[in-house]
Amino acid sequence: MEWKERIRDPKAECASRDEMMTLQGRKLVDLVNRVYGKVPFYTKKMKEMGVEPGDIKGIEDIVKLPFTTKEDLRANYPFGLLAVPQSEVARVQGSSGTTGKLTLASYTQNDADLWGECVARCLTMAGLTAEDRIHVCYGYGLFTGGMGLDLGARALGAMAIPMSAGNTQRQMMCMEDFEATAFACTPSYALHLAESMAEAGVVDRLKIKAGIHGAEPWTEEMRKKIESILHINCFDIYGLCEVLGPGVAQDCIHHAGLHVHHDHFYPEVLDPQTHEACAEGETGELVFTTLSKEAMPLIRYRTKDLTSITYDTCECGRTTPRISKFKGRTDDMKVIRGVNVFPTQVETALLKMGGDVAPHYMMIVDRENNMDTLTVMVEVDERFFSDEIRQLDNLKKEIGAVLKQALGIAVIVKLVEPKTIERSEGKAKRVIDRRNLV
């Protein structure tokens, strides 16, 4: 499609760094005053550190404040971190894929409006306007994906098509019938939809021009795969329930990092062990402070997401800090025979191998005779299973060599037929660790 660069809020997205630091400092001072004495968790933490609200005079003082973790949220479940009376809570959202108690986030009506506005900024980065029709196949309910994109479409003035997840045939039918111009879902499900559309021969009948994908780490190679099948532009949207939901950051058409809405979310990238700030461009753990949230603001929330950050002005004109595509999460990383291994490394290697190898895989980590083993199940073209065994063996050796070079360790490769590995409509499960490590 013909691309037109659009910026929804130039005052915020193109501000000078000095202007933004002044705003961030003012908001941080207000935030600390709002939680101190009202949120017992933060009051106790700050007293233990010998910090009082008067010690926070600007954004540079954020290093004096305590961290918050997901464990802290669960310990204060469901409403222990509220900074407003429960009567002012307009809605709640919860994290997906957890066992036991949810990680619950609360929103005032202003928080919900802010959420919609942040997602609308992201949709604008994707070139979308009030004239577009956005097919939302993220799950609705407590999970933030569906509701976040729905609120964003409304704030943009676009048509929201609230499909939710599941039923691929129905998804394709409605995309075509309703003439959707964009769709939103996890990248793994986007690839599944793209492959299904190609098999059904409907790609050329669709009006889709953009895909908005997030909720799990994915690679540039997967982006290009989806784009090549559907002939669209795909964008990486980022967020997490605890901080807001999708809409905290997204990349623009230049795909040079995800623009963080830094007037509402202050990002830090820190060494996970020392908690010292990483140099610009250096990989570390992403930490967020919510500068604008009312109901459940968070101070220095450790996301466990691994990324780097840059502050130079993007080609699109935005001056917002940009975080790199995520390498993974501190809790997704597996240490196998002393080597750090991330699922995204496997995905990148497989996608570079071309059409015979599908980007659908499963990593199984086990321990045999006190030695870690890594088995990678990989889907390959079905013709290999009807050819000579020698060809199958050659492909297995080739994949094994590519993965060993990418990961730095030898792996066991198990080739399986197309669609053998279960497809997920939510977050894709890529790793099974059977080692029962304590």
> In this predicted model, what pLDDT tens digit does every residue of 148-172 receive, in sequence order?
999 999 999 999 999 998 899 999 9
Question: What pLDDT is stored for residue 408 in this prediction?
Answer: 85
What's residue 438's pLDDT? 41
Beta partners for residue 94, in sequence order: 104
The pLDDT, as a whole number, for residue 98 is: 37
Q: Which residue intervals of the chain bear CATH 3.40.50.12780?
A: 10-16+91-329
Q: Which residues contact 231 (CB under 8 A, 6 or more apart)?
A: 203
Global pTM value = 0.82
pLDDT, residue 80, reads 97
Q: Which secondary structure element, helix H or strand E, spans residue 328, and what is its range?
A: strand 328-329
Strand order in the sheet with 328-329: 265-270, 284-290, 301-307, 328-329
Q: pLDDT value at position 308?
A: 97
Confidence (pLDDT) at 2: 61
Give pLDDT, residue 383.
Answer: 79
What is the pLDDT at residue 97? 40
Q: What is the CATH number of domain 10-16+91-329?
A: 3.40.50.12780
Closest CA to 321 of 9, 10, 13, 5: 13
Residue 133 in contact with residue 181, Cβ under 8 Å? Answer: yes
Q: Where in the chain is the domain with CATH 3.30.300.30?
A: 334-433
Determine contact, residues 368/336, Cβ cutoff 8 Å: no
Which pLDDT belongs to residue 423? 75
> What are the mean pLDDT values of the chain's consecutive 10-residue runs (438 residues total)?
83 97 98 98 98 98 97 93 98 68 91 98 98 95 93 98 92 98 92 94 97 88 94 96 96 97 98 95 97 98 95 98 86 75 86 82 86 90 77 91 90 92 75 75
Enter the tokens of residue 408.
């730095």
Rounded Cα distance, 415 and 52, in Å: 59
pLDDT tens digits, one per residue of 289-312: 999 999 999 999 999 999 999 999
> According to the model, what pLDDT value does residue 425 have?
64
Look at the domain 334-433 and name its fold: GMP Synthetase; Chain A, domain 3 (3.30.300)
Asked if the peptide bond before residue 78 counts as cis, ω within 30 degrees of 0, the response is: yes
